[in-house]
Structure 1
Amino acid sequence: MLNSKDLYPTRTEHRLETIPRLDPVIHTDGDRRWEGPLSEADVEAFERDGYLFFEGFFSPEEVASFREELRRLEATPELRDWEGMIREPESDEVRSVFQIHKPSVSAHFRGLARDPRLLDRVRQLLASDVYIHQSRINYKPGFRGKGFNWHSDFETWHAEDGMPRMRAVSCSIILTDNHAFNGPLMLIPGSHKDFVPCVGATPEDHYKSSLKAQEFGVPDEDALRRLAGERGIDAATGPAGSLLIFECNVLHASNANMSPDPRSNVFFVYNSVRNTPQAPFAARRPRPAFLAEREDFTPLRR
């Protein structure tokens, strides 16, 4: 599929200035917002900051079942040599497992991706039916879990997957307590209102290295220094069972886990069915299906 006009150029030879966001944060269907469980205060906070955090959103019993499934996936022999199971760069420990919403990987997490408590909130923000663009578990084991560099998810999805507009959100479910010492997700509030183009052409099969340590698609330090200086940095810390909903363009990162405690989170990326991928905007070919859905855009139902 040919691309529409590129509103967010990136991966260029020379540095480009920051581009003010051209898409709404809270979307509408025509001139109407969709109703849902988020309060007006929640919606205002999401528009301002680019994320919402709900402490203790899932029950301890639910969290226990999620953890059991996490352990099962980690130990499944059929997944060990699969390209969608990513290992830590300096050890054999699991870093990420992708496509967990597919029944062939996890029937349990397939059901969780369709949980109305998640679906109703993301549909309200996007004013649209949605499908799963990507899903994964990030394990980040104690002592050996490496960090994730600063980035906007949308910059990668736009450049390498061909996602045309900013009409996607991620739900991160905390499976183990996230605290200051085990590498919690850090976010720059309000950074979703600016698109920061990145310098450097996308290497061939970039995903093979970027899933272990990302070097391309990383904002320059001057832009990060300015945005963090203006808006600060927040850390999504809280007990297991908490829920973080964050906008696709908010800048985020995480440090290495230097503590004994693992930091495991589930991620579901919900994209509007009106925002399906085209040809990549800054890569020779799309990433594999386990990283970006390109065929099945069937709206998710409860």
Structure 2
Amino acid sequence: MTLTESRVEDSYPTRIVATEGDLLERTDPTVWGSEHDGPIDAATLASHDAKGYSIVEGLLSPAEVQGYWQELVRLSSDEQLKADERVITEKASGEVRSIFEVHKVSELISELARDPRILDRARQILGSDVYIHQSRVNYMPGFKGSGFYWHSDFETWHAEDGMPRPRCVSCSIALTDNYPFNGGLMVMPGSQRTFVQCVGETPEDYYKTSLKEQKIGVPSEDNITRLAAEHGIDQFTGPAGSALFFDSNIMHGSGNNITPYPRSNIFLVFNSVENALVEPFAAGKPRPTFIASREFTPVTR
């Protein structure tokens, strides 16, 4: 598919030239599979369809959490790895903020991505085989961890990576306890059914700055206010080992962490093999593959 063809078929136009983006009705399902396709029961699947997210408490045992936490410490302490482009540091402190393509850096996390507790749920929600669109670990240290402004992942993945439709689900696995006060992820339940257009042209190599602080591809304050008034805000809290599965188009964000309690997670993004990337819909060229994979081979156990 050529760049011209992909733009003609664009169902979710964004990065527009205007003073305000519109709120567009989503034309794709949130849940593509049924209760017979995986471990999620009918009630939970219906709730995920309505809210755009579901929580699995105790997905990892305390022993597993400890093992993955030690792996995160090892990765963040690897001086050779810090020079890698896949490592993103805090804008102010220079501390490690995220490590991308972590399933290729860590065999332990590679195995986790194939774990049926995670993989089977992703397949069920998307109703197909899946591949890893993106993986990363996020570090939010105590006192100085910076948050993420309100955004839809799909808006960026569509505009800058060429993801045609929001047939994609993210799994965030908490490796530290998530409290209401240490920068826990906030979501607007039901907002995944609305695509929020963003204003402004995508700068060249924008990922080099946007991964630290995003300014293009974020919704307006008016549109955030409208969504919050309609849907309200939920927050992902709970003990380490819990997992949040959430739709790629749900509006979400997190605040800064000024408490002594760090917040870290493993983040795995599964895209349907039937939703493989094409050319970007609102950028001059695709982002690097460590941010948006173009290897569409299905993940297997």
Secondary structure of residue in 2 paired with 1:108: helix
2:151–2:251 Cα contact (<8 Å) kept? yes
Distance 1:232 1:65, change over 3 A: same
Query: Which portions of structure 1, spanning 4 or more consecutive aligned residues, are displaced by more than 3 angstroms?
Result: none
Cα deviation for residue 148 of structure 1 reads 0.3
Secondary structure of residue in 2 paired with 1:264: strand
1:212-252 Cα offsets, whole Å, 9 max, x none, are 11111111111110110111101101110000000000000
Cα deviation for residue 282 of structure 1 reads 0.3
| 2:32 is the alignment partner of 1:27 | yes
2:35–2:41 Cα contact (<8 Å) kept? no
1:74–1:94 Cα contact (<8 Å) kept? yes
Structure 1 match to 2:296: 297
Structure 1 match to 2:17: 13
Secondary structure of residue in 1 paired with 2:283: coil
Query: Which structure 2 segments of 5+ residues have no match?
Result: none
1:57 maps to which of 56, 59, 62: 59
Tell me how far apart the structure 2 counterparts of residues 245 and 285 of structure 1 sit (CA, whole Å): 29
1:48-67 Cα offsets, whole Å, 9 max, x none, are 00000122221000000100
**Bigger share in helix:** 2
Tell me how far apart the structure 1 counterparts of residues 182 and 287 of structure 2 sit (CA, whole Å): 30
Tell me how far apart the structure 2 counterparts of residues 141 and 114 of structure 1 sit (CA, whole Å): 28
Alignment RMSD (CA, Å): 1.1
Cα deviation for residue 34 of structure 1 reads 5.4
Distance 1:99 1:34, change over 3 A: farther
Cα deviation for residue 78 of structure 1 reads 2.1
Distance 1:94 1:176, change over 3 A: same
Cα deviation for residue 19 of structure 1 reads 0.8
Query: Which structure 1 segments of 5+ residues have no match?
Result: none
1:83-106 Cα offsets, whole Å, 9 max, x none, are 11010010121100010111xx10
Cα deviation for residue 298 of structure 1 reads 1.0
Identity of aligned residues (%): 56
Cα deviation for residue 33 of structure 1 reads 7.0
Counterparts in 2 of 1:39-50, with a 5 A limit? 39-50=41-52
1:34–1:125 Cα contact (<8 Å) kept? no
Distance 1:33 1:52, change over 3 A: closer
1:175–1:241 Cα contact (<8 Å) kept? yes
Structure 2 match to 1:250: 250
| 2:191 is the alignment partner of 1:191 | yes
2:59–2:117 Cα contact (<8 Å) kept? no
- Length, aligned pairs only: 296
Counterparts in 2 of 1:218-229, with a 5 A limit? 218-229=218-229
Structure 1 match to 2:270: 270
Tell me how far apart the structure 2 counterparts of residues 33 and 160 of structure 1 sit (CA, whole Å): 33
